[in-house]
Amino acid sequence: MADNDARSSDHPAAVEDGRRRGRGARSNRASRYDSQKPETFDDGWETLGTLDAFKTHVSAERAKSIITTNDSPDISFSQSINPYRGCEHGCIYCFARPTHAYLGHSPGLDFETLLYAKVNAAELLEKELAHPRYQPKVIALGTVTDPYQPIERKHGITRQVLEVLESARHPVGIVTKSAGVVRDLDILARMAERDLVKVAISVTSLDRRVARSMEPRAATPPKRIEAIRQLTSAGVPVAVMTAPIIPGLNDSEMETILETARDAGAESAGYVLLRLPLELKELFREWLETDFPDRAARVINILRSMHGGKDYVAEFGIRQRGTGPYAEQIGARFRLALKRLHLNERNLELRTDLFRRPVRHGGQMPLL
């Protein structure tokens, strides 16, 4: 039996509810690289209802390198680390879902159940920081998949990476939607004393029902707000990301999210428009038509109006903000809220001058 378990003629690739309970994607659609697109059918033996539920499976990966660089002009960092491939949070809107196709998996349910842990991440990081030609620049942690997704509790790779960065006095920016970040508050507080860390917490909705549907295994909205409070109380600078903005679904909450996060201690904020690259456009539509059928057409129509009639435009400067009247309205509302709430008034520059190159086993210690 293929994993594309048929449920209805409207959604021929949908997986039945019992098998995907607690997951975000409604199907396990074949990726753009698959030459065949299997579908489950009823063979008359009543086996459809006996297929196993999708369970999380983590494979150990020994990566060849760990710091990834980019030259994208519309993002604020030029190098990043992602300790895991795939993400158990299961966020239906995640722009990283199509990356799972490179591994031979579906961007659908496979993305949130077939995960990879880069078990040698800390070892590689120490090696790469120790290279004589390495020049310290802020490393962004968790830019593709969340560094504090549930499997971090067992594997602790993010914490190992932070231990290397703290030892080297290297600056890091963390992006997460997990309250699990506070488990590393001891390291983060020490790094914050040296202006070596800042954390961005993503809050997409304060409505628990909407959040549960969009992000089934991520922290609840109250826990994320409480994480902001704990981080800032410990001296760790925090930004709130209202991301992604989904027009017609959560954009009306933007000002409330910003104010709630500000009251919890957030000093800065940002937003990103929903992006639907490659297979994600169909996965998102399946979810929208299943969970919010009364809004589905409006959401897609507004989104397309912000991308020149297309589902998505990958052009720098447009992909994260969109164009047209609706996009301009969101931008104007965001700027007015920043001014009213006194957010983004302090530009914190993380320090690179404290960097101490790690000394590898058997290497030469510095003379001074």
* CATH number of the CATH domain containing 237: 3.80.30.30
The number of residues in the chain equals 368
Residue 15: the pLDDT is 82
- pLDDT number for residue 20: 84
Q: Which residues contact 129 (CB under 8 A, 6 or more apart)?
A: 136, 164, 168, 170, 357, 358
pLDDT of residue 6: 33
- Domain count for the chain, please give it: 1
Strand partners, 85: 116
- Structural domain span for residue 157: 17-31+53-341
In a domain, 259, yes or no: yes
Enumerate residue ranges in the chain where pLDDT < 70.
1-13, 35-51, 360-368
Residue 126: which region, alpha, beta or left (left: phi > 0; alpha: psi -120 to 50)?
alpha
Is residue 360 included in any domain, yes or no? no
pLDDT for the residue numbered 3: 44
> Which pLDDT belongs to residue 8?
35
In a domain, 252, yes or no: yes
In a domain, 66, yes or no: yes
Q: Is residue 305 part of a domain?
A: yes
Specify the pLDDT at position 50. Answer: 54
